[in-house]
Each structure stands twice: as C-alpha cells, then as structure tokens.
Structure 1
Amino acid sequence: MKLSEFQRALIDEFGSQYGSALATDLVLGELGGRTASQAIEAGLPPREVWLALCRETGVPQAHWYGAGKLAPKH
C-alpha cells in the first residue's frame, strides 16, 4: 500500500474530516502509542498502519484488503 492509497482508503472509509481526525488524534497502542500520522512519519509501512487503524476502529475485514486502490479502468 502506497501512502496515497492509505489516504484514499482513510477518506473512503471514514470521510475526509473524520478520517483526518482519526489519523491525527487516535492513539494506537498497536503502533507503539502513536497516531496513524505519527506512525507513518516514523517510517512504518502505510499497510501496517491501515490495518492497525482498521482493527482499532472496528472496520469490517471486507474493507481491509485492497483498500485505497482505484477500480480498474475498462
């Protein structure tokens, strides 16, 4: 997962305002007591951060994988 895919997944799942607030305000114990934004700044892979955020917020597993990827063009 690229950073742009993480950002797209965050907006798709939570909306731009709430997603942004979650990324900067929600402390994730699984990521060493960092927020998602802090974890990414510290160099953790966006996929790892996304999955931790999903687990913490109860996102259905069906939304975890492939999140943030654009639909194929026909």
Structure 2
Amino acid sequence: MSYADGVASRNWRYIGCFLLGMVLSLVTLAVAALWYLSFWDSSTGTYRAVVIADFLIVPGTVIGSGLVLWLYFQKFMRDRT
C-alpha cells in the first residue's frame, strides 16, 4: 500500500486536517488568553486603555487560523477524481 492509495491517502488527509485544526485552536486560545492577561492590570484591578493593536491581534488570529485551515482544506481535502 502506498501513500498514493485513495483510501489511505484520504485518511491521512483527514488526520492532518484534524491535527491542524487542533493546533490552530490551541494557538488561537493561547493568543486570546495572553491578550486578556495583558489587558487586565491585576495590580490595580482595572483594564488598560484599548489600542488599535487590540482590534487587530485577537480577530486577526481567529481570521488567520480560519484562513490557514480553509487553505489546507482547499489544497488537500478536495477529491481530485
């Protein structure tokens, strides 16, 4: 059985898509948690001022992760028969 086999190749593509989705989810959650921890000032118990980067970091990470997963799906998950 080779990697080019239809059924085995399809299974590896599904596993790769699942693993990529899990990694991207963990990265997105980590970025959101780190952003929140930098946004909350625990010494004063208040939030810091919102800057433009705050509107780019978290949504950018979510959109970027979705785009990477969509590109993986377009490149590897489509049937080419």
- The bucket for the TM-score relative to the shorter chain is under 0.3
When the two structures are superposed, what TM-score results if normalisation uses the length of structure 2? 0.26
Higher Rg of the two aligned structures: 2
When the two structures are superposed, what TM-score results if normalisation uses the length of structure 1? 0.27
- Which structure has more helix as a fraction of its residues? 2
